[in-house]
């Protein structure tokens, strides 16, 4: 009998650590002699997270929209092409941080009608510090979206747990358990965990055991005030992430590294996430940078194909014109 291709969905709000998790899972699969393929979604017009992956891993990109709505119809086609062309053992789907998992589950399970695919689990990465902040606020569309991502998961990673205290961790674990009574909760720093257990549970649970335990129960109340009791939601409802803005800005000038780091530190609170590729005036190397909630990280890169300097900003109701003005001033200051 033909062996099915296992599919895992990696979910979590912006900046939680999904790409870091993806890297670790791919390495674990390699140890087990299993071939991975990746379907990666970016809300912006360029796939920057994909540059952090080994270029030997087959990858399909869905850009310029959210996988769960505007480009949802492309998921099936991309999954089929990945499976038929590269014949992987596992496909990892990394959704953009503003995606609703139920919509993606719908798309993947529909594809399984045409190919031997089995959705094995939904792994959601939760940024401990960010969730704690949202709990304190207690409302808003971002808060509701994070709850929805948590509720449909089979495994929850309480990530960046070193950034909060023990009392806060207990509060967060209690809240996660209240929202999702069935999921495994794994407390992590940089998504470090014994991921071999994921394969063990797959072997024991069979094709659909992990996923069914997580979502085969009364569904949470949606924005419509009713319960969504199926995995095929209507397509005319509004999305919790309509308030999320994405701005892609290509650069044709290098930047001073010190001034650029200061620029990132001074980004408004409305910008949750930023990423990009930049060239600096004071070093010959190019860098891939990641920014989330006032923290930034830089990785030296040597692209094997043509990639442009670009900045992608993701957030809530921020001013593009203000950022544009600041960038232009930064460019002028960098050229002095």
Over range 68-73, report the average pLDDT.
52
d(CA 213, CA 153): 10
* pLDDT tens per residue, range 259-284: 999 999 999 988 888 888 899 999 88
Q: Is 126's pLDDT higher than 90?
A: yes
List alpha helices for the chain, DSSP H: 18-31, 73-86, 101-111, 128-137, 141-151, 166-179, 196-205, 209-215, 257-265, 320-335
Which of 34-38, 82-86, 140-144, 148-152 bottoms out in mean pLDDT, i.e. has the lowest? 140-144
Q: Which two tokens stand for residue 177?
A: 């358990």
**Is the pLDDT reported for residue 66 higher than 60?**
no
Confidence of residue 324 (pLDDT cuts 50, 70, 90): very high
pLDDT digits (tens, 9 = 90+) for 194-253: 888 777 665 554 433 333 333 333 333 333 333 332 222 233 334 444 445 668 788 889
What does the mean pLDDT of the chain come to?
Answer: 79
Closest CA to 79 of 119, 49, 52, 32: 119
Tokens representing 108 are 């993947």
Q: Are 277 and 51 in contact (CB under 8 A)?
A: yes
User: Which residues are CB-contacts of 170 (< 8 A; sequence separation ≥ 6)?
Assistant: none
Rounded to whole angstroms, the Cα distance separating 279 from 327 reads 14
Tens digit of pLDDT for each residue in 11-60? 998 889 998 999 999 999 999 999 999 998 765 555 556 666 777 888 88
CATH fold of 5-215 reads Rossmann fold (3.40.50)
Confidence at residue 202, expressed as pLDDT on a 0 to 100 scale: 55
User: How many helices and strands (H and E) does the chain possess?
Assistant: 10, 12
pTM value is: 0.69
pLDDT at 139 over 70: yes
Alpha carbon distance 76, 72 (integer Å): 8
pLDDT at 285: 86
Q: pLDDT value at position 8?
A: 94
pLDDT at residue 318 above 70? yes
Closest to 210 measured CA to CA, from 219, 200, 218, 201 = 201
Fold of 244-335: Hypothetical Protein Yjia; Chain: A;domain 2 (3.30.1220)
Question: Which pLDDT belongs to residue 218?
Answer: 33
Q: Is 192 left (phi over 0), alpha (psi -120 to 50) or beta?
A: beta
pLDDT at 240: 45
Which two structure tokens, joined as six digits, stand for 287?
């860098």
The residues of the chain that CATH labels 3.40.50.300 are 5-215
User: Among 9, 2, 209, 239, which Cα is nearest to 101's?
Assistant: 9
CATH 3.30.1220.10: which residues of the chain? 244-335
Distance of CA 142 to the CA centre of its chain: 14
Q: Give the span between the Cα atoms of 333 and 191, in whole angstroms.
A: 38
Residue 239: CB partners within 8 Å, gap ≥ 6?
66, 68, 69, 100
Return the pLDDT at 269. 86
């Amino acid at each position: 009998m033909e062996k099915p291709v296992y599919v895992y969905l990696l979910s979590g709000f912006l900046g939680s650590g999904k790409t870091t998790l993806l890297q670790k899972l791919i390495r674990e699969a390699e140890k087990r002699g299993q071939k991975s393929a990746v379907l990666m979604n970016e809300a912006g017009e360029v796939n920057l997270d994909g540059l952090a992956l080994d270029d030997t891993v087959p990858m399909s990109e869905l850009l310029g929209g959210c996988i769960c709505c505007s480009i949802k119809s492309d998921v099936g086609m991309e999954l089929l092409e990945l499976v038929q062309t590269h014949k992987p053992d596992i496909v990892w789907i990394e959704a953009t941080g503003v995606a609703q998992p139920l919509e993606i589950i719908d798309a993947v399970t529909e594809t399984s009608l045409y190919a031997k695919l089995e959705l094995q689990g939904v792994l959601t990465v939760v940024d401990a510090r960010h969730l704690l902040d949202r709990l304190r606020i207690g409302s808003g569309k971002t808060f509701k979206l994070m709850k929805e991502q948590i509720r449909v998961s089979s495994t929850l990673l309480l990530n960046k747990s070193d950034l909060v205290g023990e009392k806060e961790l207990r509060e967060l674990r209690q809240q996660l358990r209240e929202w999702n009574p069935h999921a495994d909760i794994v407390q992590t720093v940089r998504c470090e965990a014994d991921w071999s257990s994921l394969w063990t549970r797959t072997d024991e649970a069979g094709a659909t055991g992990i996923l069914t335990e997580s979502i085969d129960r009364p569904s949470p109340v949606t924005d419509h005030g009713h319960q969504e009791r199926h995995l095929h939601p209507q397509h005319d409802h509004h999305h919790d992430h309509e308030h999320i803005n994405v701005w892609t800005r290509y650069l044709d000038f290098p930047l001073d590294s010190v001034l650029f780091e200061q620029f990132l530190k001074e980004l408004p609170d409305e910008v949750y996430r930023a990423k990009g590729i930049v060239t600096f005036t004071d070093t010959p190397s190019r860098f891939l940078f990641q920014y989330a909630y006032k923290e930034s990280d830089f990785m030296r890169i040597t692209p094997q194909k043509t990639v442009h300097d670009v900045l992608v900003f993701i957030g809530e109701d921020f001013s593009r014109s203000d950022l544009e003005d600041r960038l232009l001033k930064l460019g002028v200051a960098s050229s002095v």
